[in-house]
Every structure is written in C-alpha cells, then in structure tokens.
Amino acid sequence: MNKNVILTLLAALMLTCAACAPTQEQGVAKEQNVAEEQNVAEEQNVAEEQGVAEEQGVAEERNAIFEALDVDQNSTISKEEAGASDALQLSFESADANQDGNLDAAEYAAIMTPAAEVK
C-alpha cells in the first residue's frame, strides 16, 4: 500500500464522516429535545396536581379549624372563641378587618393564608 492510497482512503473516510456526523448529531439532539420537553411537561403536570391537592388540603384544614373554634356555630369567631387559640387571640385585632369584634370565614382565611399563597 503506497502513501497515495492511504491518503485517498483517509480522505474518503473523512468525507464519509463529514457527511454522516451532522445528521447523527441532529438526530440525537432532536431526541434529546423531545425527551426534555416531555420531562418538563410531565414535571409541570405533577407540580400542578400537587399544588391543587395542597391548596385543597390547606383550605379543608383551615375550615376544620374554623369550625372547631366556632363553638356556637354562628359562622364567626368571637373574641372569646378566639381565646382557644393563643396565636389567634394575639392576632385577633389585626385579623378583624371590619372591627365588628368577630372573625368571619374570610377574615379568618386572610390571616391563616401565608402571604406567599395569596393570589
């Protein structure tokens, strides 16, 4: 085998690689993009489902506490009823937005919902 034949073979190999390499890389890149998009979509779905479930759970828990505090079941928490919870008693004045001396469900929800969750 002389030098020219080797060079010709090398050149042919390089041309072959040059021709095929970009195609393969594009194919791989497309597959990765598709896989990444699917993963992102799945993660968003999971996050949305978890977020909804947590919000419902928090709201139910909050309602359950409200009902437990509302001893006379008139749908508001009086200052006496708030006394059952140290934290609620401390924040009662600021929580009573319309200052009627009672916390209704909306006023109660407003102080029980962390600011980050308010939308």
Site track for Ca ion across 24-63, x = CB under 5 A: ----------------------------------------
**Residue 74 beta carbon to Ca ion: minimum distance, rounded to whole angstroms:** 4
Quick one: which segment of 26-34, 50-58, 60-68, 107-115 binds Ca ion (CB under 5 A)? Answer: 107-115
Instruction: Find the binder of Ca ion among 66, 96, 108, 112 (CB under 5 A).
Output: 96
DSSP 80-107: HHHTT-HHHHHHHHHH-TT-SSEEEHHH
Least gap, CB of 99 to Ca ion (angstroms):
7
Q: If binding is defined by CB under 5 A, does position 94 make contact with Ca ion?
A: no
Q: How far is the CB of 60 from Ca ion (least distance, A)?
A: 20
At its nearest, how many Å lie between Ca ion and the CB of residue 97? 6
Distance CA 85, CA 111 (A): 13
Residue 22: φ, ψ to 5°: -60, -40
Within 1-119, residue ranges assigned H as helices are 3-69, 79-82, 86-95, 105-112
Residues 6+ away with beta carbon under 8 Å from 117: 55, 58
**Applying CB under 5 A, what is the total number of residues that bind Ca ion?**
8
State the residues that interact with Ca ion by CB under 5 A. Answer: 70, 72, 74, 81, 96, 98, 100, 107
